[in-house]
Amino acid sequence: MATFFNQATLSYNGNVADSNIITGRIVETLSASKNALTPTYTGTDDITYVVSVINSGDTAFTGLTLTDNLGRYTLDDGTTEVVPLTYVNGTLNYYINGVLQAAPNVTDIEPLTITGISVPAGGNAIIIYNACPNQYAPLGENASITNTVTIAGSSTVTPVTASETVTNSTEPELTISKALEPDVVTENSAITYTFDIRNYGGTATDITDDVIFRDVFDPVLDITSVTFNGIPWKIGTDYTYNTVTGEFVSVNGSVAVPAATFSQDPATGVWTTEPGVSTLVIMGTIA
């Protein structure tokens, strides 16, 4: 509820008379909420935001503008501002009372500015769009992004705002690459497979993550040694191997990958990720 004050003056023959001050109140009928469909973010996945605007009054609102600051924040220097989210072009959907409408205009992408929104009397409008974390998105434990939408227009007394906070996912995020040495071999000669396993997440893997390495060697490999981060693995304890089919499978808990580390450039605000790395080396001869 907004409060306003007003006073009139009357001037005559060089004199001025002031009226009493009246006080009025305006009941605001427009409200908004903002929600992310997922509470966490990674460095690769889009975040879907849903902005709901409700009109509890008897008069429709037209020509509204929605502005999203996309999580803009200030660096530790107190002056430099960076924007951690990027609007994903073409993802905007707009509903009035649950009915899909033609998409309103996106007139700017930083801050995201959407114009031409209407909310009927006693009704609602829902605006849905995606944003992707970029190089300025905070990473690591306790990292988060809070972004705020502001809805305003000529018919609103005060802008309506709504905010949502998402936190950086700390779950392991693994990749694997495979190398062969040498890549040209003769029959019954020695060969080495090297597997580089990287974790871009903020938490090291453990037995609860059910990390299982599996490969089927073709041609079948006569294994002579297996090491993980330089430590020998034992068949039956750390892995199983079928000498007929060539299937190699690690035992749950054998593959452990350390967490990534994260750092932010204090001058530019750009975040970098140093993945945790583990290496599996399997040596043998072609059977």
For the chain, what are the domain ranges?
24-168, 174-286
Percent of the chain with pLDDT over 70: 96
Q: Does pTM top 0.85 for this prediction?
A: no
Which residue has tokens 């006073």? 7
Average pLDDT over the chain, rounded to an integer? 93
Is domain 174-286 in CATH 2.60.40, yes or no?
yes
DSSP annotation of 191 reads E
The mean per-residue pLDDT over the stretch 109-124 comes to: 96
* Of the candidates 56, 18, 50, 55, the residue with the CA atom closest to the CA atom of residue 37: 50
Query: Amino acid identity of 63?
Result: G
> Binning pLDDT at 50, 70 and 90, where does residue 16 land?
confident
pLDDT at 50: 98
Given a cut of 80, is residue 269 above it in pLDDT?
yes
Contacts of 207 (CB under 8 A, 6+ apart): 252, 253
> Binning pLDDT at 50, 70 and 90, where does residue 254 land?
very high
The mean per-residue pLDDT over the stretch 214-232 comes to: 96
- The answer to whether 238 touches 226, Cβ cutoff 8 Å, is yes
Third-level CATH fold of 24-168: Immunoglobulin-like (2.60.40)
Domains 24-168 and 174-286 in one fold: yes
Given a cut of 80, is residue 9 above it in pLDDT?
yes
pLDDT at 3: 63
Which of the two residues, 178 and 20, has the higher pLDDT score? 178
Rounded Cα gap, residues 47 and 239, in angstroms? 39
Given a cut of 70, is residue 25 above it in pLDDT?
no
> Binning pLDDT at 50, 70 and 90, where does residue 5 land?
confident
Which of the two residues, 159 and 157, has the higher pLDDT score? 159
Taking only the tens place, the pLDDT of each residue in 121-144 is: 999 999 999 999 999 999 999 999
Spell 126-143 as b/e; 16+ CB within 10 A means b: bbebbbbbbbbbbbbeeb
- The answer to whether 120 touches 55, Cβ cutoff 8 Å, is yes
Which of the two residues, 156 and 28, has the higher pLDDT score? 156
pLDDT at 266: 95
pLDDT at 4: 60
Pairing of strands 160-168, 40-41: parallel
Contacts of 242 (CB under 8 A, 6+ apart): 248
